[in-house]
Chains A and B, each alone.
Chain A
Amino acid sequence: MKKRQSFLFVGLLVCVALVFGMTSGAMAGKIRIGVAAPFTGNLASYGDNIKAGVNLKLKEINDAGGINGQKVQLVWGDDLCQPKDAGIVGAKFAADKSIVAVIGHLCSSATLAAMPIYVRAGLPALSPTSTNPTIGDVGKGWFFRNCYTDDFQGKYLASYVVPKLLGKKKVAIFYENNDYAIGLKDSFVAGAKSAGLTVTGAEAYMTGTTDFTPQLTKLLRDKPETIFLCGYHPEGALIAGQSRKLGFNGPLFGADGIDNEDYIKIGGKAADNTYCTVPFLAASAGPAGKDFAKQYKKAYGRDVDWMSANAYDCLGILAQVIGKVGTDRKKIRDGLAAMNWPQFGYKGVTGLTYFNEKGDCSKPAFVKKVENGKFVAAK
């Protein structure tokens, strides 16, 4: 009995050691870039988008012979959008000296958890989707992102979308209790004051709620003209449906969290007349963007979304920088930091990207609308 147990135990240790040893090894001759996103779990669909965008760019790069003759290899790190797992993925990437940069993470809380590790190890991270404004402070120069931050989106919605596009003044806010939505709501409320909008009420909900009727009843009592779906698309779709059932017929609007095919699928007819801001809109993009949208549709059979576009550009930015400075982590970080003026920026499918000292970039936002069950550009 004891002997068998000791055998099992030793065998276990050996297996463990082997796996760790194996996976930390480097593959000679290829440029390895880590990609961290939730590839399984509730937000797996977002991770799929990142994967799709990055893979498209990867094929382009490698078909053209790679960067300075070296092919690029991607290393996937599934962080399940959880801070603890993000820490593990971060440690893995940081410890693997052959990984020269990281595209990620997707969720802001995951990025916040992993950044201290990247800072310590000196590994630059470029996120396509993390919008929490505080990441720049934690990043200490090693963090960059090519998406706008939550304060920008909120202000844009308040100052432009609601008064000018929708022509409404009274807004009810329904926000999700997570870092993304709270930041968005705060900046919206701040912007609403100066834009002369009235916020008739603000209700919060927890992620995963399915029944919003009590809160909606309360909000609708104050007769808002439009409802701000401040959160992600699963709950947004449900809120849309339930608000229609309760008799609300005005327009709805949200931010990039709503931008997903599932919103229309789950919301059904109720999803019509919803506006949302997005960092990328194929219809309004330049020729590079339109081209990219076509390629994406051909490769994956579905319409392109902003996460894929940003991820595509992330890899493009890294490729450009690595092409100039080589594969040293610190040099790559310096190369990214040097892109601080428009003329040093990167022209990609999402427009021109350049970074400020916190690693943030300013990108324009576009507005989409759901009409007859499809996303179209809003006029």
Chain B
Amino acid sequence: MGKLRLQNLTRGGKIRIGLLALALILPFLPFISDYVLHIAILVLLYMILALGLNIVPGFNGLLDLGYVGFYGIGAYTSGLLTYHLGLSFWVIIPLAFINGAIWGILLGAPTLRLTGDYFAIVTFGFSELVVLFLTNEIWLTRGPLGLPGIDVVSIDLTLFGGPKWEFIGELPYYYLAIVMVLVTVFVMYRIQDSRLGRAWFAIRDDEVAAVSCGIKLLAYKVIAFAISAAFGAVGGSFFARWMTFLSPDMFKFWESFLILCMIVLGGMGNIWGVMIGALVLVSMSEVLREILPLLGLPVQSRFLAFGLIMVLMMRYRPAGIMPIAAVAAKMRAGRVKRKKVKPAVGIKK
């Protein structure tokens, strides 16, 4: 790595630093109300989730339909630990990470040897079971009654004789979310450039070739799944401490689909693409929520649009708005353009 000077940065790098700076000063710009911050935090949360999900379809080429299950597990872990034991958020994050990873391994180990379709369905079944469990086991989760009154995040230095700052309002959560996103992006980049990441890409691009290079398929896939689940759980734990209220119907399949939409739209496998996808989808969602009633269309059209977007994206730009060359090539490889050949003279059908 060369010296990190401003002139050494690529154009892309400069844009990203600029965006980061913009994000940091956002709350102080005019017209930015708590509502905008709320949406911004939602965007950042979905960025973390999308980056987590990205590992499985984006880096590994498998379809995970049950991501919301890990999100829910993480959220309820965080919520319940806070509610009953009053644990600090900073302790909960690593716990949630580990919990998510454990569940990822538990679910992944028996299922990752299946073909893609079966794996997708099994993950879907898993997330539905998670929701059912969260809803029905009232003794543990309070089920549909919801879990209100979760403490907010706080930085507690009382042990060292310092003050205790509680996170009140959207602003502290906004910066916390930015920090979490930065950490996640950093981790993703390190993984991408590591041996682990390269093994994953090999698996994605051609499994047979990967195996013949000595890559243990199942082990790497399980690791991928576990890390993806871990990030989902971390996102969930943030969500619990931010909304301070949990209810099982926040974790339906629709969330999995939404996050999938984000990575499909943005560019599967592309870290920045995925983040753009999250930004676009969440903002568009809110913009549409405002505009649609004014245009006289039902708000339902928003969901319709998402379904349509998925279909169109897969048809025309399956690798997303910001495609990665490898993924784009793979998606294109199968599609041979059929030319209409005029039959030679004399040959009739």
A interface residue numbers (CB < 8 A to B)? 2, 5-6, 9, 12, 15-17, 19-21, 23-24, 39-41, 76, 78, 80, 82-84, 87-88, 91-92, 94-96, 109, 112-113, 115-116, 120-121, 132, 134, 137-138, 177-179, 182-183, 204, 206
Q: Nearest Cβ in chain B — how far from A57, in angstroms?
A: 21
On chain A, the residues within 8 Å of B247 by CB distance are 83, 109, 112-113, 179
- CB distance B293 to A24 under 8 Å? no
- CB distance A137 to B149 under 8 Å? yes
B interface residue numbers (CB < 8 A to A)? 11, 15, 31, 33-36, 38-39, 42, 132, 135-136, 138, 143-146, 148-149, 168-170, 243-247, 249-250, 276, 280, 283, 286-287, 289-291, 293, 298-300, 321-322
Query: Which among B11, B34, B244, B298 is the interface contact of A116 at CB below 8 angstroms?
Result: B244
Query: Which among A109, A121, A138, A183 is the interface contact of B149 at CB below 8 angstroms?
Result: A138
On chain A, the residues within 8 Å of B136 by CB distance are 177, 204
- CB distance B145 to A183 under 8 Å? yes
- CB distance A83 to B146 under 8 Å? yes
- CB distance A5 to B322 under 8 Å? yes
Q: Nearest Cβ in chain A — how far from B10, in angstroms?
A: 11
Query: Which among B34, B250, B280, B300 is the interface contact of A94 at CB below 8 angstroms?
Result: B34
Give the CA-CA distance A112 to B249 in the complex, in Å. 13
Question: Could you list 17 A-B pairs, sorted by A, with CB under 8 Å?
Answer: A9-B276, A19-B287, A20-B33, A24-B33, A39-B299, A78-B293, A83-B246, A87-B38, A88-B38, A94-B34, A95-B33, A109-B146, A113-B245, A116-B244, A179-B146, A182-B143, A206-B135
Query: Which among B15, B168, B246, B289 is the interface contact of A78 at CB below 8 angstroms?
Result: B289
Q: Nearest Cβ in chain A — how far from B316, in angstroms?
A: 16
Contact flag A83-B321 (CB < 8 Å), given A20-B35, A94-B35, A109-B144? no
Q: Nearest Cβ in chain A — how far from B304, in angstroms?
A: 12
Contact flag A113-B243 (CB < 8 Å), given A134-B148, A178-B144? yes
- CB distance A138 to B144 under 8 Å? no
- CB distance B145 to A134 under 8 Å? yes
- CB distance B250 to A82 under 8 Å? yes
Cβ-closest chain B residue relative to A38: B299
- CB distance B250 to A84 under 8 Å? yes
On chain A, the residues within 8 Å of B246 by CB distance are 83
- CB distance B31 to A40 under 8 Å? no
On chain B, the residues within 8 Å of A6 by CB distance are 15
- CB distance B145 to A12 under 8 Å? no
- CB distance B298 to A40 under 8 Å? yes
Q: Nearest Cβ in chain B — how far from A82, in angstroms?
A: 7
Between B15, B145, B170, B291, the greatest number of chain A beta carbons within 10 A of the residue's beta carbon is seen for: B145
Give the CA-CA distance A44 to B132 in the complex, in Å. 24
Q: Nearest Cβ in chain A — how far from B232, in angstroms?
A: 16
Cβ-closest chain A residue relative to B239: A84
Contact flag A40-B300 (CB < 8 Å), given A5-B322, A76-B293, A113-B243? yes
Between B42, B146, B286, B300, the greatest number of chain A beta carbons within 10 A of the residue's beta carbon is seen for: B146
Closest 7 CB pairs of A and B: A91-B38, A95-B35, A95-B33, A95-B34, A40-B299, A178-B144, A21-B31
Contact flag A120-B169 (CB < 8 Å), given A20-B39, A112-B146, A177-B144? yes
Give the CA-CA distance A312 to B247 in the complex, in Å. 29
On chain A, the residues within 8 Å of B169 by CB distance are 120
